[in-house]
Homo-oligomer: A and B are copies of this chain.
């Protein structure tokens, strides 16, 4: 008998990762490619399709593919599109599902990458059994997925959950965002955001810092974390500022939706308390008393690389469940 599997694909600003995943969340195969290497969406999809095809052929067991779940920034569940994604190389409205249908007749489900991560957290991670929680993904940008009353929150147009593009203060900030505006949260809180903060602090502060030897293009979030762990004052101040901005905006998330927990997901969260402690402190400071001490701020329980792919694959099972009585 053939094993039923789903293909999960996570399209990120830097990497695109995919997996062939069974219903228990086991990866039979996985693969990766650089999103930024493909300026044209059609070329990207041809390459992706080829990689997935080879991965399927390499399997030791016979499988039946149930569908393809895709998580992508600004992915729209209703239309199968990616619309004006600031962190991807393809601009405007990309009819992703339609373009991918050139290669397959399988069901294709597209959603926000952070929504996919939230489904992954709910089915396989730390949010098992929770009805109200939020997942914040910290990568090149900042994404968010809201689960309320046990369901993903899509909103009227399928675009709920874009806290990365809320502004940190009324009126303009100096930080330009890839979305064309200024002062968006993700210009402060993301792998890129903390790097921008470091460079501004290197201008403001006079403390010695090993970060003074690195160019903007060289510096990574991992370098900032390593420096902070050694007590580097600039790096520590950058984490404090990042936590201040994130905590401030998470307090709004709590006041709007009163979740049981907020999960932080992505490379930046590997810095542990460097990011969690200031975020939690500033979140609590900005909370109304009825919420204080009640909302758990937790690291994602899923392997950073796999969660979004797991979530994307879970979209397929979820879709099948909802359509089993249909055509």
- Bound CA–CA A182/B179 (angstroms): 31
Is A255 touching B162 in the complex (CB atoms < 8 A)?
Answer: yes
Question: Are B288 and A258 in contact, with the CB atoms below 8 A?
Answer: no
Among A131, A166, A253, A294, max chain B CB count under 10 A is at A166
Pick from B131, B161, B179: contact of A256, CB under 8 Å: B161
Instruction: Map CB proximity to B onto A62-90 as digits: 1 under 8 Å, 0 otherwise.
Output: 00000000000010000000011000000
User: Which residues on the B side are within 8 Å of A157 (C-beta)?
Assistant: 258, 290-291, 294
Question: Which stretch in A26-34, A52-60, A206-214, A244-252 binds the other chain?
Answer: A244-252
Q: Which of A118-126, A146-154, A312-320 interfaces with chain B? A: A146-154
Specify which of B83, B158, B260 is in contact with A258 (CB 8 Å cutoff): B158
- Cα(A274)–Cα(B295), bound, Å: 38
Chain B min CB distance to A199 (Å): 20
Closest-by-CB residue of B relative to A289 is B84
Whether a CB of chain B sits under 8 angstroms from the CB of A307 is no
Is there a chain B Cβ closer than 8 Å to A165's Cβ? yes
A170 within 8 A of B: yes
A257 contacts the other chain (Cβ, under 8 Å)? yes
- Give the residue name and chain of the B residue nearest to A247 (CB): B170
Among A146, A156, A169, A258, find the residue whose CB has the most chain B CB atoms closer than 10 A: A156
In the assembled complex, which residues on chain B have CB atoms less than 8 Å from the CB atom of A251? 166-167
Which among A149, A155, A294 has the highest number of chain B CB atoms within 10 Å?
A: A155
Give the nearest-CB partner of A252 in chain B: B166
Q: Does A45 contact B (CB under 8 A)?
A: no
A91 vs chain B, min Cβ distance (A): 11
Are A159's CB and B258's CB within 8 A? yes
Find chain B residues with CB under 8 A from A144 CB: 256
Tell me the complex Cα distance, A203–B221, Å.
46
Interface residue A286 (Cβ < 8 Å from any Cβ of B): yes
Out of B149, B167, B179, B256, which one reaches A163, CB within 8 Å? Answer: B256
Q: Among residues 243 to 298 in chain A, which have CB atoms less than 8 Å away from a CB atom of chain B?
A: 244-245, 248, 251-253, 255-260, 282, 286, 288-291, 294-295
Assembly CA distance A180 to B257 (angstroms): 21
Residue from B160, B170, B258 within 8 A of A248 (CB atoms)? B170
What 3 pairs across the A-B complex have the smallest Cβ distances? A155-B258, A156-B260, A160-B258
